[in-house]
Structure 1
């Protein structure tokens, strides 16, 4: 991967030092940065969630109770990224249903829920009428309340978690009378919260698609309530999101609450803080997003919700992208199949769950009531029937098989096509488990090739040492079929990377990101440690790693990347040095781009001839709380030693044995 060897790193007897303070870095936790002027040392203290909440999550390990820990969800005590589908057949009392919702209602039942499970969903999002649950509303119906309650109990008995989403738009029976939750929503939640307080497998989404636009004033109304004009000319008395949270906790419900964004749940940008009075140190709150813009891409996704996912759980609680041109649905866009795949790959890299709309509305994610998925085959805007169902359910399948019982997340990966084929031969079970996932970048493989290997959920990736070559391949449409990501790995080599890129990797990473994002591709940045030789040519071989940190190469590059690969390979047999270097790089990356995915190098070529592969596994475990995955290099026997081909397989076996 271009890094110096361990012998080069320690040739002068250097021990990597990051300053007088021990660096404590725990991934996905709130960040506190202290600058010590006297020593110019930056220490990062990333404090994990409250001990009480962690203990609660662990004690709930039985079953499928949901809890928040840091920026992610736990289900039954294990790391969880929801795989959901929406059901709209219970969106209003029977007499108030209209159009497609009548047919959806007629098909609701155990068979539909079993079909959702067969498509690898583990969560049902029910849209439920505010009016039907508000005792003071003319549409209030005890029969409807019981119907919804029974439907949710049926889903729970089928092994599915549930998101209860309060709906006050047209489908709910009266049209949307208020852009934010009003006193009717408050009364409805006072009915709902006690009803499901004993089932932590049910999540509460406070309000479907608050419709005020983004502004400081509107966020204050969203948070605290106030008087807001309604679409029908009346004035709504809004109660505020914080009031609803307080009410639910006062009603004795500790369920995870999903807080919706503004602009029809499109954005969390500018959102003021809300608190959880029952869990002030570890709020049991997640945040909801709908329909990320396919045309705006990463440039919008990061500020709208992606960056925030580094500190709190985010769920896309409603999404699809079809060929329809109906103004009541997301508009079809040119290149939609590739853009939809790009979005799902982005969400997977951020470990953001997604709920597909809707399992009971044909033409969205299902073609009909046989629940066959829609596809993008022969796709054209305006031609009915095209949709992302197969794409979504394939992703669900990959995520499901990669799940493990650990409280830690299943790792992401970068692996080459040649290495993955070798590992599939050596350790097929573990290779499929880890690599058939939308969190795996396979360099040098096309989408058809990955499907033939049985790794259809993995991300086809093209790798480049030069931004010029990367941009040319993208702009000239020379990438392999189905490529969704590009890897930019500048090296200190006049044969691979132009001199200007070696000297200014940050500028060329920005250009690489611009080229990638303009064509619906993720950018994985991986500057080699040996770039130090270009930037500081007098650096001794033994000081490359510390000089790499001093030059702040990561800080310059990571701000433009969707994922960042740390080229720490070469240090694996020196566990403390490996840990220290990964911590230092992770600090710079987190400050530059809070939402960037971090992976670190593991290479069998780092092992001396004949050495057992245990140091690679130890290195992986040492940094597992800092990074979200690994760049795995498994050299062929002729390149290193006879045991090297089994080193990567041993790492997979060791990680699998620890519940990942």
Structure 2
């Protein structure tokens, strides 16, 4: 529910706080550009494009005061200010803690841990009473031993799901014990690709939302562009649980089927009442085939260039992507039958 009415989210995902400033020098420049360009104007523009929400990831290392290498108090305060700016613009905000190797850590923690909870101890006093802020507990958990990039169609074992549930439940207890009344969001396993088979999480407030990130890439990309794949990954689960696609885009992948599969994917979400946070608002490096391009003066991407050509894998022309279709959905409630 949002403002007392049933809610199917439609929003954008942005990246200014995905890595802390200590990691800027070792990473591509778009992260620094997104951070330095972040401002309240972005949320007004999102709202003008039909969004009702925005998803912001916060780097775990940068926001953890116990991390002497990466913690940055000024950066964290800017992230907190951004959440307030988005709320002031009338957007619901999904705040997500992220721990990935671009921050300089040797490897991503497979599940939320004590460092994740330390960050929530910083954010909960600020936002724990604002129901317009959702707490996405941990981005893309991946409890697959010794495999940082597993096959995204891999089915977790019952033991892996139990470890996932234990870690998520502990984090839910933590934020509730610190006074949070927010909806909490739990990403599925295999980098949020899989929700099927997940046990129900335990929340005394019964405010758990489950999240999937159904990117196409992988060794079964053809299959991953089909309704069967969406059903197997999160669709069956969504028949009995509230589900959101809290992060999605074409990613580093496209083929001749991709434009039509995106149209089918969006219609599938609409038919199932599943919300979407589409990426990425302020991040369009070459080859990523993104939502928008030209940040900070965003233009919505298109599946076709001036010659009517579409992209091939990692060879997309600037601006290639589903942006115009998303814009049509968000502004007009329609999904074009053919790619745009």
Deviations 1:79-132 (A, max 9, x none): 111111111012233333332201111221122222212221111110101112
Deviations 1:337-387 (A, max 9, x none): 001111011011001111111100135100212211000112121232310
Once the 2 structures are TM-superposed, how far is the Cα of residue 199 of structure 1 from its aligned partner? Answer: 1.0
Q: Tell me if the contact between 2:93 and 2:133 (Cα under 8 Å) persists in the aligned partners.
A: yes
Equivalent residue number for residue 162 of structure 2:
220
CA distance in 1, matches of 2:197, 2:171: 20
CA distance in 2, matches of 1:184, 1:263: 20
Q: Does structure 1 residue 299 correspond to structure 2 residue 228? A: yes
Once the 2 structures are TM-superposed, how far is the Cα of residue 303 of structure 1 from its aligned partner? Answer: 2.5
Once the 2 structures are TM-superposed, how far is the Cα of residue 292 of structure 1 from its aligned partner? Answer: 4.6
Equivalent residue number for residue 148 of structure 2:
none
Once the 2 structures are TM-superposed, how far is the Cα of residue 291 of structure 1 from its aligned partner? Answer: 2.3
Once the 2 structures are TM-superposed, how far is the Cα of residue 159 of structure 1 from its aligned partner? Answer: 1.1
Quick one: structure 1 residues 286 and 255, their matched pair in 2 at CA, closer, same or farther if it must change by over 3 Å? same
SS for the counterpart of 1:286 is: strand
Counterpart selection for 1:286 from 209, 221, 226: 209
CA distance in 2, matches of 1:158, 1:383: 33
- State how 1:83-102 maps to structure 2 within 5 Å: 83-97=10-24, 98-99=27-28, 100-102=30-32
Equivalent residue number for residue 356 of structure 1:
278
Q: Tell me if the contact between 1:115 and 1:371 (Cα under 8 Å) persists in the aligned partners.
A: no
- Specify the structure having the higher radius of gyration (Cα): 1
CA distance in 1, matches of 2:137, 2:71: 18
CA distance in 1, matches of 2:212, 2:103: 20
Equivalent residue number for residue 89 of structure 2:
158
Equivalent residue number for residue 325 of structure 2:
391
- State how 1:318-333 maps to structure 2 within 5 Å: 318-321=247-250, 329-333=251-255
Q: Does structure 1 residue 365 correspond to structure 2 residue 296? A: no
CA distance in 1, matches of 2:21, 2:132: 26
Q: Tell me if the contact between 1:128 and 1:172 (Cα under 8 Å) persists in the aligned partners.
A: no
Deviations 1:587-607 (A, max 9, x none): xxxxxxxxxxxxxxxxxxxxx
CA distance in 2, matches of 1:175, 1:316: 28
SS for the counterpart of 2:87 is: helix
CA distance in 1, matches of 2:335, 2:23: 44
Equivalent residue number for residue 72 of structure 2:
141
SS for the counterpart of 1:356 is: strand
Quick one: structure 1 residues 175 and 82, their matched pair in 2 at CA, closer, same or farther if it must change by over 3 Å? farther
Equivalent residue number for residue 126 of structure 1:
56
SS for the counterpart of 1:85 is: strand
Q: Which runs of 4+ in 1 moved over 4 A?
A: none
Q: Tell me if the contact between 2:290 and 2:321 (Cα under 8 Å) persists in the aligned partners.
A: yes
Quick one: structure 1 residues 129 and 383, their matched pair in 2 at CA, closer, same or farther if it must change by over 3 Å? closer
Quick one: structure 1 residues 173 and 155, their matched pair in 2 at CA, closer, same or farther if it must change by over 3 Å? farther
CA distance in 2, matches of 1:312, 1:158: 29
Q: TM-score, normalised by structure 2?
A: 0.85
Q: Tell me if the contact between 2:193 and 2:214 (Cα under 8 Å) persists in the aligned partners.
A: yes
Quick one: structure 1 residues 171 and 308, their matched pair in 2 at CA, closer, same or farther if it must change by over 3 Å? same
Once the 2 structures are TM-superposed, how far is the Cα of residue 206 of structure 1 from its aligned partner? Answer: 0.8
Once the 2 structures are TM-superposed, how far is the Cα of residue 161 of structure 1 from its aligned partner? Answer: 1.0
Unaligned regions of 5+ residues in structure 2, if any? 145-155
Q: TM-score, normalised by structure 1?
A: 0.45
Quick one: structure 1 residues 158 and 176, their matched pair in 2 at CA, closer, same or farther if it must change by over 3 Å? farther
- State how 1:445-460 maps to structure 2 within 5 Å: 457=334, 460=337
CA distance in 1, matches of 2:256, 2:239: 31
SS for the counterpart of 1:264 is: helix
Aligned length: 306
Equivalent residue number for residue 203 of structure 1:
134
SS for the counterpart of 2:191 is: coil
- State how 1:440-479 maps to structure 2 within 5 Å: 457=334, 460=337
Once the 2 structures are TM-superposed, how far is the Cα of residue 458 of structure 1 from its aligned partner? Answer: 5.2
SS for the counterpart of 1:263 is: helix
Return the structure number with greater relative CO, CA threshold 8 A, min gap 6: 2
Q: Tell me if the contact between 1:168 and 1:175 (Cα under 8 Å) persists in the aligned partners.
A: no
Quick one: structure 1 residues 129 and 175, their matched pair in 2 at CA, closer, same or farther if it must change by over 3 Å? farther
SS for the counterpart of 2:245 is: strand
Deviations 1:482-513 (A, max 9, x none): 39xxxxxxxxxxxxxxxxxxxxxxxxxxxxxx
Equivalent residue number for residue 169 of structure 1:
100
- State how 1:61-100 maps to structure 2 within 5 Å: 74-97=1-24, 98-99=27-28, 100=30
